[in-house]
Amino acid sequence: MDKLHHHLTHSTPELCSYPVLRLTLIHDGFLSVTLPVMYSLIFAIGLLSNVLALWVFSHSMQRQTSITVYMRNLALSDLLLALCLPFRIAFQDRSEPRVFCNIVGAFFYLNMYVSITFLSLISLDRYLKIIRPLQKYRIHTVSRSMLASGMVWVVNFAFMLPFFFEKRGKESCDHKCFHFRSKSTTAAALNMAAVAAFFIVLLLFLYFYGKIFAKLHQVSSMKAQQLNKKTSMRAITKTFVVLIIFIVCFTPYHTVRIPYILAQIGAISSLPWKQGLHLANELVLCISALNSCLDPIIFFFLSSSFRRAVLCTIQGRLKGALLSNQGRLTPSPGNGISSLQIGFTSVQVEMRGSAVTEVVEKANEEA
**Domain coverage including residue 50:** 16-365
Question: How far is Cα 17 from Cα 277, in angstroms, rounded to an integer?
Answer: 16
Per-residue model confidence (pLDDT) at position 327: 42
> 252-255: which pairs have CB atoms within 8 A and are 24 or more residues apart?
252/284, 252/287, 252/288, 253/281, 253/284, 253/285, 253/287, 253/288, 254/195, 254/198, 254/199, 255/284
Residue 339 lies in a domain: yes
Residue 71 lies in a domain: yes
Per-residue model confidence (pLDDT) at position 351: 37
Tell me the pLDDT tens digit for each residue of 68-116.
Answer: 899 999 999 999 999 999 988 887 766 666 677 888 888 999 999 999 9
The pTM of the full predicted model, rounded to 2 decimals, is 0.79
Per-residue model confidence (pLDDT) at position 92: 75
Model confidence at 274, pLDDT cuts 50, 70, 90, reads confident
Residue 205 lies in a domain: yes
Q: Do 116 and 70 form a contact (C-beta atoms < 8 A)? A: no
Tell me the pLDDT tens digit for each residue of 192-226.
Answer: 999 999 999 999 999 999 998 888 877 766 645 55
Residue 346 lies in a domain: yes
Model confidence at 324, pLDDT cuts 50, 70, 90, reads low
Please report, for the domain that includes residue 150, its CATH number: 1.20.1070.10
Burial 168-205 (b: 16+ CB within 10 A, else e): eeebbbbbbbbbbbbbeeebbebbeebbeebeebbeeb
CA distance between the termini of the chain: 70
Residue 11 lies in a domain: no
Domain count for the chain, please give it: 1
> How many other CB atoms are found less than 10 A from the CB of residue 36?
16
Residue 10 lies in a domain: no
3-class secondary structure, 341: strand
Which stretches within 60-97 are classed as H helix? 66-91
Question: How far is Cα 87 from Cα 82, in angstroms, rounded to an integer?
Answer: 10
Residue 4 lies in a domain: no
The mean pLDDT value of the chain amounts to: 77
Taking CA atoms, 13 is separated from 10, 93, 142, 148, 263, in Å, by: 7, 8, 52, 45, 22
Tell me the pLDDT tens digit for each residue of 153-186.
Answer: 999 999 888 877 776 655 656 567 777 777 888 8
Question: How far is Cα 324 from Cα 217, in angstroms, rounded to an integer?
Answer: 34
Q: Which range (41-50, 100-109, 191-200, 255-264) has the least confidence?
A: 100-109
Residue 6 lies in a domain: no
Q: Which range (24-28, 78-82, 289-293) has the least confidence?
A: 24-28
